[in-house]
Structure 1
Amino acid sequence: MTAYGELLPSVVEAANRGADFLEARFDPRTRPADRAAMYHLGAGLEEGSAAAVREVLDGVLPGAGWFDAEAERSLPPGEWWIVDGAEGAVNHVHGLPEWAVTIALVKDGIPQLSVVRQPVGDLTCTAIRGMGARRNDRPLRVSAKTGLDAAVADASQAGNSPGTHARFGRAVAAMSDRALLVRNTIPTTFPLLRVASGQADVFWQYEPDLPGTAAGTLLATEAGAVVSDLSGKPWDLNSPDILVAAPGVHAAALEVLSS
């Protein structure tokens, strides 16, 4: 086991603590009345879960920083914890099941270790760079598809500008002409897990947020996926966009999305 692998039990425990906080507050009947109520509930979930995670991980890796999405737009060199205490909070507050705690340890822009804990279904996904990806101790593997016409493609809407939204709409239309099925889904981690497990074949996103991509991308690539930006260049956490796909369809998906 690598040096980072030795940290895995502590990271799993931290994810469990955060997930316990979320699970205790989950009610399938919840329906926020408006945007303000939705954000109030989501912020409380994120704050409480992230605090539980940090309580376990503080001091586990001396010198590692804590990425703050509110304060930083890119990831500086070095080792960083990237935590989303309530990945999919918008789902949680609407009584939907796709929410989780995600933890990634990143070094110089490259994810090294990740854990995703999803209480609904009792699922724990783990990955260590160079050592594969697992869900509840079973290996994850991407699909063997070689044709985009048989591929399920997922995207996650991102960005806050009309230009990005227009680009996203054009890409969905172009991919719909080539792929079997195109879906727009949130949060980012779940479509990446579907690629990792072979249940989907392509994922792309513009202006990806770091907490959403750090953990899930490592799980997908350790399961055999190919990752790049949408110009075909090598991807890291500071890249402006992302494409993650099964090896047999990555080139075709890149052709569609880069045109």
Structure 2
Amino acid sequence: MASANLNIMIKAARKAGRSLVKDFREVENLQVSVKGAGDFVSRADREAERIIKEELRNARPNYGWLGEETGEEPGEDPTRRWIVDPLDGTTNFLHGLPHWAVSIALEHKREIVAAVIFDAAKDEMFVAEKGSGAYMNDQRLRVSGRSKLAESVFATGIPFAGRGPLPASLQDLARLMPLAAGVRNLGAAALDLAYVSAGRHDGYWERSNNPWDVAAGILLVREAGGFVEGIRDGDDPLESGRQIAANPQVFAAFAKVIRNRD
């Protein structure tokens, strides 16, 4: 039975998702224009955040807010905060690739307690609450049971356009790829973590995320039985921007490879 807060989050994600799907259908037509779809997608992103913010604020006006587009706003209740990415996978959306999501997390006393990641293009709703498990469209999720790197598929985000620690990421790939069954760069951190929770990916790491990229996904993985840590020992995986996540069987071997230089 979902809590009142989780139901509010699901409703907001669905409403924003409907708006984004409508806009996504227009993107293909815009690809051929000289100016391109960039400005249009930026507006779609901002509108999705407006919808989510309106829904959440109407229901819980005293909670704080951290959103990708509108930044941080303290609430009357200093212990609770929404953490929102209205469109994770913007570049995919811009190019007409149907792999993007709405991500909403609720933080209570600096701990993520509820999470929603909605892949509107595929109608997959990933949800989790602390202590209650993780689900996708009402199906209970469990991380994969693979225990060998050679059988495992990992996901990551590779820095682009001069953003983020590209040399370190390339070194990670050089160490991991000879040992693993594959590495995927699908362009949406929220969905990478959701896929770990669903056993589609065996692990995930990245060195340059924002809190709104990963807040919901961290809880999903943990509630599905997986581990999430900072890449450097002792780092907070949300605040540091550097995460490593995997099923319990492969985590130690995977972490050893990725932490080689840290």
Q: What is the TM-score with the length of structure 1 in the denominator?
A: 0.89
- Label 1:221 to 1:158 Cα distance change in 2 as closer, same or farther (>3 A): farther
Flag structure 2 segments of 5+ consecutive residues without an equivalent.
none
Tell me the CA shift for residue 233 of structure 1.
2.6
Contact 2:157 2:206 in 1 (8 A): yes
- 2:178 maps to which residue? 177
Residue of structure 2 in register with 1:65 after alignment: 64
Shift in Å, 1:69: 3.9
Q: What secondary structure does 2:24 align onto? A: coil
**1:201-258: per-residue Cα shift (whole Å, max 9, x none)?**
1100002111110111211111111011112336342124100101001111110011
Who is 1:51 aligned against?
A: 50
| 1:151-197 deviation line (CA, Å, top 9, x unaligned) | 10110124875771011011011110211111222110111111111
User: Which residue of structure 2 lines up, in the alignment, with residue 24 of structure 1?
Assistant: 22
- Relative distance call for 1:72 and 1:18 in structure 2 (3 A) is closer
- Aligned residue pair count: 256
Residue aligning to 1:190? 191
Contact 2:117 2:194 in 1 (8 A): no
**Deviations, residues 83-121 of structure 1 (Å, cap 9, x unaligned):** 111122221221111122111111243211111222222
User: What percent identity do the matched residue pairs reach?
Assistant: 28
CA drift at 1:33: 6.1
CA distance in structure 2 between the aligned counterparts of 1:193 and 1:242, rounded to whole angstroms? 14
Q: Distance in 1 between matches of 2:254 and 2:8?
A: 37
Residues 35, 185 of structure 1: CA spacing in aligned structure 2 closer, same or farther, 3 A cutoff? farther
Q: Is the 8 A contact 1:81 1:104 kept in 2?
A: yes
Alpha-carbon distance, 1:31 to partner = 5.5
Q: Is the 8 A contact 2:245 2:251 kept in 1?
A: yes
Summarize the alignment of residues 236-247 of structure 1 with structure 2, pairs less than 5 Å apart: 236-247=237-248
Partner of 1:105 in structure 2?
A: 106
- Contact 2:215–2:238 (CA<8 Å) still a contact in 1? yes
Q: Work out whether residues 229 and 243 of structure 1, in 8 Å CA contact, stay in contact via their aligned partners in 2.
A: yes
| Distance verdict in 2 for CA 1:213–1:35, change over 3 Å | farther
**Counterpart contact for 1:158–1:208, Cα < 8 Å:** no
- One-letter identity of the residue aligned with 2:236: W
Question: Gaps spanning 5+ residues in structure 1: where?
Answer: none
CA distance in structure 1 between the partners assigned to 2:241 and 2:121 by the alignment: 32
Letter aligned with residue 14 of structure 2: N
- Superposition deviation, residue 35 in structure 1: 11
Q: Quick check: 2:153–2:202 contact (8 Å CA) kept in 1?
A: yes
Change beyond 3 A, Cα 1:240–1:98: closer
The 1:166–1:135 alpha-carbon spacing in structure 2 relative to 1, beyond 3 Å, is same
Structure 1 residue 66 displacement after superposition = 1.0
Distance 2:125 2:244 in 1: 24
Structure 1 residues 65 and 160, CA gap change in structure 2 (3 angstroms): farther
1:59-208 to 2 correspondences below 5 Å: 59-69=58-68, 78-158=79-159, 164-208=165-209
Between the aligned partners of 2:37 and 2:110, the Cα distance in structure 1 is 32
Q: CA deviation at 1:54?
A: 1.5
Q: 1:239 to 1:217 in 2, by over 3 A?
A: same
Which region of structure 1 is more displaced relative to structure 2, 207-216 or 153-162?
153-162
Instruction: Tell me how far 1:6 sits from its aligned partner.
Output: 2.3
Kept after mapping to 2: 8 A contact 1:230/1:257: yes
Q: Measured at CA, do residues 44 and 70 of structure 1 come closer, stay the same or move farther in structure 2, by a change above 3 Å?
A: closer
Distance 1:39 1:99 in 2: 16
Per-residue deviation, residues 17-62 of structure 1 (Å, max 9, x unmatched): 1011101112273464699745312311111111111121114234
Instruction: State TM-score, norm by structure 2.
Output: 0.88
**RMSD of Structure 2 on Structure 1 (CA):** 2.6
